[in-house]
């Protein structure tokens, strides 16, 4: 524990923007509208901004801890603050959390492929091929992972243009009256938005891989701001396109929007959109799986490649037993709930404990 990462493994500060954005934009952006609209109706776009402000504050807290403990990651910090046994126990929970995040992202994406494109496609084959690609990327080192995150943000950016097409059928009165819901309802909606923002906590693991890490904080905040722009834009266009009661029954509203797009050279644009989404999901799964396996290596000095193979077997096994959208949704909800407490409760508590630890250390 506590070894310095050599400079040739480190990445430029600006790439933090892509690491944050790539892990926050995943399957969630295809379905979040129908989830957040239940408590707050069409005021839910405000809830996205509220959730975003919360994430900005949490990233500030994370940097407050990490900048004072140079070259250390979350596993070092937990051991330092809580001792060997409690620290490692918390580290294992963190690793399991990241593993579950990667599983949920992959399983939901395959479910979309089966429902919208190829109903008869083999879960085992698609899952295995996808995981082999993920393991190959992780095997290339953290610089390769950062490169995939960069491509995963830049290449699919053209999909933003698809938000223009539904405006032809937009009904602008849907958004009126603004602020028609209570603060409690807006906060409940913001809580449901959590799954889409959760991935930023991987910063705790890859912080030692950043060159001049203190300079990366502004790029992390830019990443969250850009993610917020994407979610707010998608939500508002969806709210203008769908009736409020209708959107609650649609599982993947973004795919429904893609379905209406007509071009002279393509008949089913959702096929192109879902295929392009592979580049969005890939860095999402890669970064969380790397963070989990990295944690096991840091705490127990086990071979990271062997850990990844074990993880892949676990994911495939669980994937084959979890069938049907309802079961997948239950696991997704469980991960969301745990993630909410991990980032919105544990990180502030960790920040307070670290602050007290710092004061005691300085006084000595």
Q: Which of 120, 74, 71 is nearest to 97 (CA)?
A: 74
Bond from prior residue into 177 cis (ω within 30 degrees of 0): yes
Q: Which pLDDT value is given to residue 328? A: 87
Residue 1 within any structural domain of the chain: no
Task: Tell me the whole-structure pTM to 2 decimals.
Answer: 0.93
User: Which SS3 state, helix, strand or coil, does residue 132 take?
Assistant: helix
Q: H-helix or E-strand containing 21?
A: helix 15-24
Q: Where in the sequence is the domain holding 211, given as residue range(s)?
A: 17-363
Q: Give me the percent of the chain exceeding a pLDDT of 90.
A: 69
pLDDT digits (tens, 9 = 90+) for 163-214: 998 988 888 888 888 888 899 999 999 988 877 888 899 999 999 999 999 9
Cα(213)–Cα(67) distance, integer angstroms? 8
Q: Which pLDDT value is given to residue 101? A: 93
Residue 158 within any structural domain of the chain: yes
* Reduced DSSP (H G I as helix, E B as strand, rest coil) percent helix, strand, coil of the chain, to 5: 80, 0, 15
Q: Which pLDDT value is given to residue 55? A: 95
Counting the structural domains of the chain, the total is 1
Range 123-151 average pLDDT: 95
Range 37-58 average pLDDT: 92
pLDDT digits (tens, 9 = 90+) for 240-296: 999 888 898 898 999 999 988 877 777 788 889 999 999 999 999 999 999 999 999
Cα distances (Å, whole numbers) of residue 153 to 92, 145, 223, 279, 347? 30, 13, 11, 8, 27
Residue 105 within any structural domain of the chain: yes
Q: Give me the percent of the chain exceeding a pLDDT of 70.
A: 99
Residue 149 within any structural domain of the chain: yes
Instruction: Check which CATH number belongs to the domain holding 204 and give it.
Output: 1.20.1740.10
Cα(359)–Cα(364) distance, integer angstroms? 9
**Cα Rg of the chain, angstroms:** 21
Q: Which pLDDT value is given to residue 1? A: 55
Residue 246 within any structural domain of the chain: yes
Residue 234 within any structural domain of the chain: yes
């Amino acid at each position: 524990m506590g070894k310095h990462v050599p400079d040739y493994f480190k990445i430029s500060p600006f790439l933090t923007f892509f690491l944050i954005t790539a892990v926050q934009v995943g399957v969630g952006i295809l379905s979040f509208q129908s989830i957040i609209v239940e408590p707050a109706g069409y005021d839910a776009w405000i809830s996205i901004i509220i959730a975003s402000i919360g994430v900005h504050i949490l990233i500030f807290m994370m940097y407050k801890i990490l900048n004072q403990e140079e070259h250390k990651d979350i596993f070092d910090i937990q051991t330092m603050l809580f001792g060997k046994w409690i620290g490692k126990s918390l580290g294992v929970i963190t690793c399991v959390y990241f593993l579950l995040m990667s599983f949920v992202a992959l399983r939901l994406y395959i479910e979309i492929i089966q429902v919208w494109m190829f109903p008869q496609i083999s879960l085992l084959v698609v899952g295995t091929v996808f995981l082999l690609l993920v393991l190959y990327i992780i095997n290339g080192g953290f610089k390769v992972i950062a490169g995939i995150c960069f491509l995963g943000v830049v290449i699919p950016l053209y999909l933003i243009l698809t938000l223009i097409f539904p405006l032809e059928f937009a009904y602008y009165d849907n958004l009126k009256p603004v602020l028609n819901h209570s603060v409690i309802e807006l906060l409940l909606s913001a809580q449901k938005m959590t799954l889409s923002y959760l991935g930023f906590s991987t910063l705790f693991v890859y912080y030692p891989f950043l060159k001049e890490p203190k300079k990366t904080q502004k790029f992390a905040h830019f990443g969250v701001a850009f993610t917020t722009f994407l979610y707010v834009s998608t939500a508002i266009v969806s709210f203008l396109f769908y009736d409020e009661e209708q959107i609650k029954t649609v599982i993947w509203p973004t795919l429904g929007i893609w379905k209406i797009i007509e071009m002279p050279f393509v008949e089913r644009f959702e096929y192109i959109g879902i295929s392009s989404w592979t580049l969005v999901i890939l860095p999402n799964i890669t970064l969380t799986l790397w963070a989990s396996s990295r944690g096991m290596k840091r705490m127990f000095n086990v071979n990271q490649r062997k850990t990844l193979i074990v993880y892949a077997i676990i994911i495939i096994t669980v994937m084959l037993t979890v069938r049907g959208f309802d079961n997948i949704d239950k696991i997704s909800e469980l991960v969301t709930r745990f993630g909410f407490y991990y980032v919105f409760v544990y990180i502030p508590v960790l920040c307070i404990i670290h602050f007290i630890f710092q004061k005691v250390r300085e006084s000595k």
